[in-house]
Structure 1
């Protein structure tokens, strides 16, 4: 692309020489004037060229940064699928698995590209995951439910890595990562390894220097004993999470398989986590289970000595441990939408937004009015206020089957019996349960409630706020502004 102003040096030089001859005929003053004018013109022209060369860069759509390049396409197309390295996962009773150790991410992107891609991918994560969250909210009316956004998205990307043909295209479309040119050639396909790298980068940002946040992500894949898996596929998943396990188990004996998998998960996942697994589809030969642990502390908070009432329903109370904290918080009391929003910092960047109905409003009304961008609106009108806050100590275990979510979205075929996953295995893959589980813990930081250093210097009386009835919870990573977790708290201690 040429800039709007483009100088032809040779013609410009001829014009300059011609004008120079004319100036000699008019005398020295005229010559000096013309020379000055020409130097000014040269300066202005060069300035214009430099300016246009800076601002006239070719726009590159972020999709092109996650798509296959022409070189990558040629490499992929020249590969022989039958030459792909395959592996047999060890039996579930095995204590060792070399594929789980020392696996580094296969694709490492430059920091400037990562920043662009985070800005591109984060809204897609939020749009897709909210579709699932909206369905799960309707199903879970009397208990708590939490949806880890990046893990929901990562699960779909993981299956995309092993998908072929129409299944690959359908999963890419579902993710929302589509070529703006609508081309159908190889360069219109997203490179799943690059997307996995972006998700891993977002995960890594949620690290609290003062240990107020701990996270741990685990993925387990179980396959039938005779199913081989692509080594490239296994390594991609192993490098995308903190812990990765792949094991072989006999699916034909459902009772025994449930017992074996449950015991394995109980030994590998975080303390007190239960699998909640009750049955297995005996016709399947692959199961995918992801688990994420979020453990946070409310800074400068303490545990209230006695359990406090929490209204799980308008006429039902349970006594739960509560946390107390006083300080300057950002909040908004919205008397139009009848909801109260409060922001709770967990570290320098990361925070919770809690939304509780007020003035007789209900959680169901708030849920029904939510869209995938609603969380952005929650943070717009917050103002600082000295607040004495009490909120429940949380210990929530939440689990859902993505197959059920896809069924409710009328998209069962994405991971259905006819889906093609021959990039994952030489065996025809029949996907069973695809389970996302999350453990969310929010606790006090054990400060002395009588410590005067926690009282801010202000003359205003503290506003007393009690989160003592069901509320919406949203966890944000502050650097990328990514919504990592969305859910509703109906029971503060919600254990599977």
Structure 2
């Protein structure tokens, strides 16, 4: 095992030792067994058989082929169904996987933030990152599978089957975690939170993919689109075609993906995530309001306002304040504001760490009038670049053994994660008297009109679904 893998394993074990703090005082004894192959599954896998039939394969249809548009409400219903009537073991598995997802998210966020300027906004979806890497694990054979398992934070005690990560369990648990986030509780009706994940597999013409691999991806993303196109003659044109195709299918206006598709690529793996939330009790204020990018520069942006009892904490020692807004029964929006705008990066480095959610124990109820920008955030990242920055440039390179994806020698190009996050006022909500009149002396005014950080997490599994920085609301629209 490489030194990096040993270090990662030690860190994760330390995290699990603190699982009671990270998951609401719940303690798990050796929880990894929830994510590996069971003894009965291993017995079945290792049972000697006659000549094993080859996995069926197929050639993706050309990108010009017509496709039905994505039905986001149908995807929401699937997620809610996946999170219903969970057994205690299912909930424990979600909590364990949530810790691994969070650790991956913090690690990759730190890697990304080292390349950002202080004035750049960002949004990252840790479950999408984890799910993309877990998808490659599903399609990998050793030694690549072993290295991916270490990266995902799952220590392999030995090379036995019962120490191997079960990729199908991981992907289905990710779907459960997504369902927990958007489940409304109470009366059914039009969902206030939508979370949709779409995977695009783009291949060179003639490349055959294995059906079991692509079918397995639907556990993570019910909409998995496999399409072929010429990636070598004009890579920039290929990128444009992919962007037009995905926008036509989803209707989402994503950031333009990073350019530079290698002409020798035979497989591109793109994960697209759309989150849309309506903030109950919040209204869109009339006109535009000032958001101060720095001490001398402001921009005019639409603002939301809402009054109520929110969880809040002001930490004078670390010069930050936290305010939590419940988006639904399970989903929480945490807003982190430096007391001084110039301290954003210091607060970011301090808070976005593995013990981040333990800070929420300091929150207490407070009557607040909260004003913040309406958010439409976009981010697009190539995991190949992230892996290179994390000193793992060859993990998905030409030497990678991805024999469960295709029998061909794959050349993996872009491994893209694109995020579109929207937070808006509740439909039909009009400005209330409390939003229009000055607050009383007992009501705390919290106004986010300078750069701030945010996180959206799911209460039960304590999984962080989104991490981000809002440095200038207009720069990310």
TM-score by length of 2: 0.84
Written as runs of structure 1 = structure 2, the 5 A alignment for 1:48-127 is 61-77=30-46, 78=48, 83-95=54-66, 111-127=87-103
The gaps in structure 2 that reach 5 residues or longer are 1-27, 185-189
Larger Rg: 1
- Pick from 208, 218, 233 the counterpart of residue 238 of structure 1: 218
Q: Is the 8 A contact 1:324 1:390 kept in 2?
A: yes
Match of 1:133 in 2: 109
Match of 2:175 in 1: 200
Q: Is the 8 A contact 1:270 1:293 kept in 2?
A: no
Is 141-150 or 372-381 further displaced after alignment? 372-381
Match of 1:286 in 2: 267
Q: Are residue 268 (structure 1) and residue 246 (structure 2) matched?
A: no
- Whole-angstrom distance in 1 between the partners of 2:290 and 2:67: 48
- Whole-angstrom distance in 2 between the partners of 1:382 and 1:292: 30
Q: Is the 8 A contact 1:386 1:460 kept in 2?
A: no
Q: Is the 8 A contact 2:306 2:435 kept in 1?
A: no
Match of 1:173 in 2: 150
Offset at residue 347 of structure 1 (A)? 1.1
Offset at residue 451 of structure 1 (A)? 5.1
Written as runs of structure 1 = structure 2, the 5 A alignment for 1:406-485 is 406-445=387-426, 446-450=428-432, 461-485=442-466
Change (3 A) 1:70 1:314: same
Match of 1:299 in 2: 280
Q: Is the 8 A contact 1:294 1:439 kept in 2?
A: yes
Offset at residue 346 of structure 1 (A)? 0.7
- Whole-angstrom distance in 2 between the partners of 1:482 and 1:274: 25
Match of 2:139 in 1: 162
Is 316-325 or 79-88 further displaced after alignment? 79-88
SS in structure 1 of the partner of residue 337 of structure 2? strand
Is 397-406 or 66-75 further displaced after alignment? 66-75
- Whole-angstrom distance in 1 between the partners of 2:451 and 2:440: 32
Q: Is the 8 A contact 1:395 1:494 kept in 2?
A: no
SS in structure 1 of the partner of residue 379 of structure 2? strand
RMSD after superposition: 2.8
Q: Are residue 372 (structure 1) and residue 353 (structure 2) matched?
A: yes
Q: Is the 8 A contact 2:99 2:462 kept in 1?
A: no
Match of 1:401 in 2: 382
- Whole-angstrom distance in 2 between the partners of 1:479 and 1:166: 35
Give deviations 1:366-406, integer Å, cap 9, x for gaps.
Answer: 12224532421331111211111110011111111111111
SS in structure 2 of the partner of residue 468 of structure 1? coil
- Whole-angstrom distance in 1 between the partners of 2:40 and 2:329: 42
The gaps in structure 1 that reach 5 residues or longer are 1-58
- Whole-angstrom distance in 2 between the partners of 1:382 and 1:90: 52
- Whole-angstrom distance in 1 between the partners of 2:280 and 2:240: 40
Bigger relative contact order, structure 1 or 2, given CA contacts below 8 A and separation 6+? 2
- Whole-angstrom distance in 2 between the partners of 1:60 and 1:339: 35
SS in structure 1 of the partner of residue 286 of structure 2? coil
Change (3 A) 1:81 1:368: farther
SS in structure 1 of the partner of residue 147 of structure 2? helix
Give deviations 1:135-162, integer Å, cap 9, x for gaps.
Answer: 1122222221111011110011000011
- Whole-angstrom distance in 1 between the partners of 2:470 and 2:165: 36
- Whole-angstrom distance in 2 between the partners of 1:328 and 1:490: 26
Query: What is the count of residue pairs matched by the alignment?
Result: 430
TM-score by length of 1: 0.81
